[in-house]
Copies of this chain bind each other. A is one copy, B any other.
């Protein structure tokens, strides 16, 4: 009942704030996270083909962002050394050290990355292996253990977070590597800072198409509507969601500028 009390209080505050705003513009009303979550219809579950669990080498023109050895291409949001853990040719989210992002910035690109949900993971819905890859540091493609774990569909693996669910659920099971192949087209902007052309994304997980040149509507907000924010080139960012569940690992990350 505690959360509910807070909710009522917020409504009080909100309404009185509105009344006291004489000739100023009202701010947009506060939303709750679950207002932008929907659960139906759940995308069909597809079992991917049994792809090799050995990582493939990068194409010759790719920028290798992680080759199994170190995080020299990455930093935290303050520009300091990335605090995640490198071991056995992979790196793993270190809870509480925050997101990491590439030092380089990109416009249009093809991105390959591989990620693994550890065996024996527990938790449910969003609290099970939650991370994400942010394109140009702005637009999150969700990473989550959705193997036999339902959540709101616009928050499941391969969704444009809180916007567009994936066409299907193509998860490998915990303990197996998943691949992401992402083709991203950056937005262009009008003089007033709104989109002239929207960002677009194609996402392929484990060889199965999840998003086909999907229009990205704006930032991928936890609460409320997507926002349109003018920006230029940006990094690839990986999320430390700070979950109690076992941390997820990454390997074999490369990018090709298009």
Q: Which residues of B contact A65 (CB under 8 A)?
A: none
Of chain B, the residue at the smallest CB distance from A56 is B49
Min C-beta distance of A215 to chain B, whole Å: 7
Q: B209 near A256 (CB under 8 angstroms)?
A: yes
Identify which of residues 18-58 in chain A touch chain B, using a CB-to-CB cut-off of 8 Å.
18, 25-32, 34-42, 44, 46-52, 54, 56-58
A167 CB within 8 Å of chain B: yes
Q: Knowing A60-B46, A60-B47, A61-B44 touch, does A212 contact B258 (C-beta < 8 A)?
A: yes
Min C-beta distance of A228 to chain B, whole Å: 10
Q: B61 near A52 (CB under 8 angstroms)?
A: no
In angstroms, Cα B114 to Cα A75, docked, is: 39
Min C-beta distance of A217 to chain B, whole Å: 7
Of chain B, the residue at the smallest CB distance from A257 is B191
In angstroms, Cα B60 to Cα A54, docked, is: 21
Min C-beta distance of A24 to chain B, whole Å: 9
A238 CB within 8 Å of chain B: no
A251 CB within 8 Å of chain B: no
In angstroms, Cα B67 to Cα A189, docked, is: 32
In angstroms, Cα B227 to Cα A40, docked, is: 12
**Can you sample 22 A-B contacts with CB below 8 Å?**
A4-B11, A8-B11, A25-B40, A26-B34, A28-B34, A28-B38, A29-B32, A29-B34, A29-B37, A41-B192, A51-B56, A52-B56, A59-B207, A108-B196, A183-B202, A183-B212, A185-B212, A188-B197, A208-B256, A209-B256, A209-B258, A215-B215
The 8 residue pairs across chains A and B that have the minimum distance between CB atoms:
A49-B57, A25-B39, A47-B60, A29-B34, A29-B35, A213-B213, A49-B56, A52-B52
